[in-house]
Structure 1
Amino acid sequence: MSGRTLLRDMAASLRVRNFRLFALGQLASVTGTWMMITAQDWLVLRMTDDSAVALGAVTAAQFTPVLLLTLMGGRLADMLNRRQLLIAANSVSGLLALALGVAVLSGRVKLWHIIVCAVAIGLVNAVEIPTRMSFISELVDPELVPNASALSAAYFNIARVLGPATAGLLIGGAGVGAVMLLNAMSYLATVTGLRRIRPGELHRASGRRARGGVAEGLRYVAGRRDLLLPLALTAAVALVGFNFQVTLPLLARTVFHTNAGSFGLLTAGMAVGSLLAALAVTLRRGRPGERTVLGTATAFAALLTLSGLAPTFGTALLCLGLTGGAMMAFAQSANHRVQLGSDPAYRGRVMAIYTLLLQGTTPIGALLTGWLADRTGARGALSVSGAVCLAATLAAWVRTRAPAGRR
C-alpha cells in the first residue's frame, strides 16, 4: 500500500462534508476544553497548597452528573434530534466557561465557585457525550463508522497536545482567567459547524427509534453477551486507571517539582501517544474481536504500572506517551466492539452505558486516587492503579477461556 493510499484510507470520513464540519468544530472546542482543564487544575492546586483531595473533589464534581444522569442522556439521544441537542449543549457549555473565566479575572473566585461550575458542566456532558458518540453513525455511511470514530479520537488527542501545551504557555503570561475565556470562545466553532451540517445528508435510521426507556436499553445490553465483557472491562479499567487529571498535576508539582509548562508537557506527551494510536485505528473497517479488547487492556495496565516507577522526568514522559497509546487503543477497541454490535434503535442508550462506565466512574476513581496519592504519593497512585487494572484484565482473560457453561 502506497503512502498516498494509506493517507486516503485513514482520512476517508473527512471526504464527507457533514463529518468534516463536525470534526473541525470539535477540534477547536476540545482544544479549548483541554486548555480549561489544565488551567483549572493548576488554579485548584495553587489555591489549596497542592491538595490532591481538593483536585479529586473538583474532578468528582464534574463527573458525578455523568455517573447519575448519562443513561437519561442516552434516552434523550434516542428520542430527540441529535444535531439540535448538540447545538444546545455546546451553547450552554460556552456560557458556563465564560462565567467561570469572568469570576477568575475578577479576582474573587473561590474553590466552591469552581466546584459549582464543574457540576453544571457535568450536567451538560451527561447529555452531550452519548449524543455526540451516537451522532457519528448519522454523519457517515455504516462502513465508515470505525474510521469516523477513530478520527474523532485523533482530533481529541490533537487537542490534548495543543490544549495543555498552549495553556502552559499562557498561564504564566495572560493568566488562568484569559485561558478560560479562550475556551468559552472555542464553543462558537462547534456550534457553527453543527448549524452548517445538512440534515438531508444525515444517515438516520428509519422506522425504529427509541423503543422503551432506560430499562429497555439495560435489558437489551444484558441479553448481549458480546457487549457485556468490553463494557465490564471498560468499567474496571476506567475506574482505577483513567484518573490522570489527578495524578499528572501531582506528578509534575510534587515529584519532579516543575512549572506549569512542564505539567502541560506531561499531558501533551501522553496525548501524542494517544494520537498515534488513534491514527492507526483509523484503518479499521470492521468490528474488533474480543482478544483485541483484552490485549490492549493488558498493555495499558502494564505501562501504567511502569509509569509510576519512572525515575526521571524524561522516562516518565516516555512511559506516559506509551501509556496514552495503549489507553487509546483499548478505549477505541471497546468502543467499536460495542457500537458496531448494537442495534441503531438502542445505540444512544448503549453508548450512554459505555459513557457511564468510561467517564461516569471518574468521581469515585478521582476521590480514591486522590486519597491514595495523599498516602503513597503520585508514583504510588500510578503503580497501584496499574496493578489493579492488570489483575482485572487477567481475570477477564481467564473468564473468556472458561467453558461456556461456567461463564
Structure 2
Amino acid sequence: MKLLNDWLGFFKPLQVKNLQIFWSGQACALIGMWLQVTAMGILVYSISGGSATAVGLLAALNALPFFLGGMLLAGLGDRFDRRKLLIIVQSVQWLVAAVLFLLTFVDALQLWHLYAAGLVMGINQTVGFPTQQAFVGDLIPRKQLQEAVGMYSLVFNTCRAVGPALAGYIIAEWGAATAFGGNVLASLPLIGCLVSLKGRISEAAAPKKQRGSGRKVSGLKAVLSTRSLLFIMLSALIQNICGQSLYQIVPALMHGNPRNTGLILGAVGAGAMVSILLVMPFARKSDRVGAKLSSGTLWMGSALCVAGIVNVVEVQALCFFFAGLATSTLFVTSSSAVQLLAPPERKSAILGLFSIVTIGVQPLAAMGWGAVVDSLGVQATIIMAGGLEALFSIWMLSVPFWRNFRFTPDDCPEGA
C-alpha cells in the first residue's frame, strides 16, 4: 500500500487546473516540434549528400543563441509577464513552421532555409525553455515542484516517444511537407491555452521587474559560489555533451533512414516515459542528489557503449531505450534542484545557465560528434561518447562531497 501511495503521490500536480490547461497545449506543441525537428534533420542529411557534419551544423546553429545570450535572454522571464512571453515564443514557432511548410510544398526548400530556421528556433528556445520551467513553478506549490517538473518531463518524453516515430512514418509515406504542416496545426492549441490562463496566476508568482545589466553576472556568480549548484551544472554538462547530444545526430547515425531514425528517437522517448512512470515516483524519495545524478550518467554512458559495440538496429534501439531511462530522472532531479536552490530574483537567469549546459551544449557537441562520425564511423563515435560519459561519472562519484550531497525542498528558503 505504501508503494502505491508513493506512486500516486507523484501525480498530484495533475490535479492542478492551471497545469492541466498548460500541459494539454504543451503536449500538442511538443508533438509538432518533434515532427519538425525530425524532418529538418532528415532533409539536411539528404540535401547535403549524406553529411553527418551538416546535420551537426544544423544543431550547432540552433545552439548559438544559448551561448551568445543565454542568461541575458533567459532573464527576460524575470522582468516580464511569463505567460505573455510564452505566447510570443509560440507564435514565432508557428511562423517558422508555416514558412518551412510553404517552401517544402512548392519544392523551393534549400539547405540555407533549414539553417536559418534552426537559428531562429534557437533564439526562440533560448527565451522559451527557461521561461517555461519558471512558469511551471508559478503554477504549483513549492513542495510539489519536483513532481511538477516530473509531470512536465512525462509530457515532453511522451511526445518525444510519439513525435519522431510518427514523423518517420509521415515522411516516408507523404513527405516532409506533411510533417511541417502537422507542426503548423499542432502549434496553435498552446497559444489558446496560454491566452485562457489570463487572470488565473497569482500576483505572488508574477516576476518582479528588475534592471537586467547585472543579472547575467550575478546569476553566474551565484552558481560559481554555490558548490552544490556548480556540481549539478557539471553533471548536466557531461550528460549532455557525451550523452544526449548523440540524439541530435541520429539521422546521421541511421544514415538518413526515416524509419530507423524514428525508431531510435522513439525508443529514447519511450525509455524516458517509462522512467517517469515507474522510476521517478520512487527515486524522488531519495535525497542523495549527487549519487543519484552521477549513477544516472554512468548508466546512460554504459548503455551507449553497448549500442556502439552491437551494430544491430533493434539492439541499438533497446540500448537507446535504456539510455532514455536515465534521461528523465537526470532532468527532473537536476532541474528541480536548480530551481529550488536558485535565489528567487535570479531564477530565470540561473535557469538560463542551466539551459546553456543542457540544451545549449547539445547541438555544438552534436556538430563535433558529427565530424567524428564522418572521420571514424558511427560505432566508434557512440563508444567514444558513452565511454567518456561513464568515466567522468565515475570521477564525480569519487568526490566525497558530491557522493554524499543530500537535498530536499525543505532545505531551501521558503521564497526560493
More displaced stretch, 113-122 vs 340-349: 340-349
The one-letter code of the counterpart of 1:237 is: Q
> Deviation digits for residues 85-138 of structure 1, max 9, x if unmatched?
101111111101111111111101110110011101111111001101111110
Distance 1:245 1:40 in 2: 14
Which residue number corresponds to residue 67 of structure 2? 67
Which residue number corresponds to residue 169 of structure 1? 169
Distance 2:317 2:94 in 1: 32
Equivalent residue for 1:230, pick from 222, 229, 232: 232
Say whether residues 1:214 and 2:216 are aligned partners. yes
Distance 1:302 1:166 in 2: 28
Distance 1:251 1:148 in 2: 34
Which residue number corresponds to residue 273 of structure 1? 271
Which residue number corresponds to residue 160 of structure 1? 160
| Percent pairwise identity | 22
Residue 134 to residue 112, structure 1, CA distance change in 2 (3 Å): same
Would you say the 8 A contact 2:290–2:402 is kept in 1?
no
Runs of 4 or more off by more than 4 Å in structure 1?
Answer: 2-7, 205-212, 285-288, 401-404
Structure 2: gaps of 5 or more residues: 405-416
SS at 2:204 equivalent: coil
Which residue number corresponds to residue 102 of structure 2? 102
Structure 1 position 382, deviation (Å) = 0.9
Structure 1 position 10, deviation (Å) = 3.0
Distance 2:6 2:220 in 1: 39
Would you say the 8 A contact 1:246–1:369 is kept in 2?
no
Would you say the 8 A contact 1:287–1:340 is kept in 2?
no
The one-letter code of the counterpart of 2:318 is: L
Structure 1 position 300, deviation (Å) = 1.4
Would you say the 8 A contact 1:287–1:337 is kept in 2?
no
Structure 1 position 72, deviation (Å) = 1.1
Structure 1 position 49, deviation (Å) = 2.1
Q: Aligned ranges for residues 317-328 of structure 1 at < 5 Å?
A: 317-328=317-328
Residue 38 to residue 385, structure 1, CA distance change in 2 (3 Å): same
What TM-score, normalized by structure 2, do the two folds share?
Answer: 0.90
Aligned length, in residue pairs: 400
> Deviation digits for residues 59-102 of structure 1, max 9, x if unmatched?
11111112222211221111111111101111111101111111
Q: Aligned ranges for residues 42-121 of structure 1 at < 5 Å?
A: 42-121=42-121
What TM-score, normalized by structure 1, do the two folds share?
Answer: 0.92
Q: Aligned ranges for residues 361-400 of structure 1 at < 5 Å?
A: 361-400=361-400
Structure 1 position 395, deviation (Å) = 2.3
> Deviation digits for residues 148-174 of structure 1, max 9, x if unmatched?
101111111110111111111211222
Structure 1 position 247, deviation (Å) = 3.7
Structure 1: gaps of 5 or more residues: none
Q: Aligned ranges for residues 288-307 of structure 1 at < 5 Å?
A: 289-307=289-307
Would you say the 8 A contact 2:35–2:166 is kept in 1?
yes
> Deviation digits for residues 350-399 of structure 1, max 9, x if unmatched?
11111011011124202210111111211111110011112222222233
More displaced stretch, 263-272 vs 337-346: 337-346
Would you say the 8 A contact 1:205–1:344 is kept in 2?
no
Which residue number corresponds to residue 346 of structure 1? 346
The alignment yields a C-alpha RMSD, in angstroms, of 2.3
